[in-house]
Amino acid sequence: MVFHLLSCKIRLMEPTASAQTQTLETPRIVATPGTCGGKPRIDGHRIKVSHIAVCHERMGMSPDDIVTSHPTITLAQVYAALAYYYEHKDEIDADIAEGERFVEELKAKTPPSKLQKLLAARKANGSDDSLPPG
């Protein structure tokens, strides 16, 4: 029975005169000036390698979880992005750290919103009526 299935598989894979040639595309990582700041990204998308790396390394998302949260990309593209990340880890990690510093600088320069002021005042008065966790 196993031999029969194997032989069927081999026959299906043999080229015939009417068979069309299929080209398998390998997921690519590209860096285009003017797109995503010229940072490495998944070809055809604006999803940067650093974003995939943060999802996987810092947020603990599996490649399947990443595909679920970004349904326009494939599992192969996620693995290509992770492979690129591990090959250029120091460079990508430095880029992530630079982005985090930029965010912290913006937070320091931006005055608190009316809501943030109201919540801070409520906490200072001891009336923290926030929702319980869970």
Residue ranges of domains in the chain, CATH in brackets: 27-120 (1.10.10.10)
**pLDDT 10s digits, 56-87:** 999 999 999 999 999 999 999 999 999 999 99
pLDDT band at 29 (very low <50, low <70, confident <90, very high): very high
Please name the residues in contact with 70: beta carbons below 8 A apart, sequence gap of 6 or more. Answer: 47
**pLDDT 10s digits, 101-113:** 999 999 899 998 9
pLDDT of 95: 94
Task: Provide the residue type at 46 as one letter.
Answer: R
Please name the residues in contact with 99: beta carbons below 8 A apart, sequence gap of 6 or more. Answer: 50
Portion of the chain with pLDDT greater than 90, in percent:
62
pTM > 0.85: yes or no: no
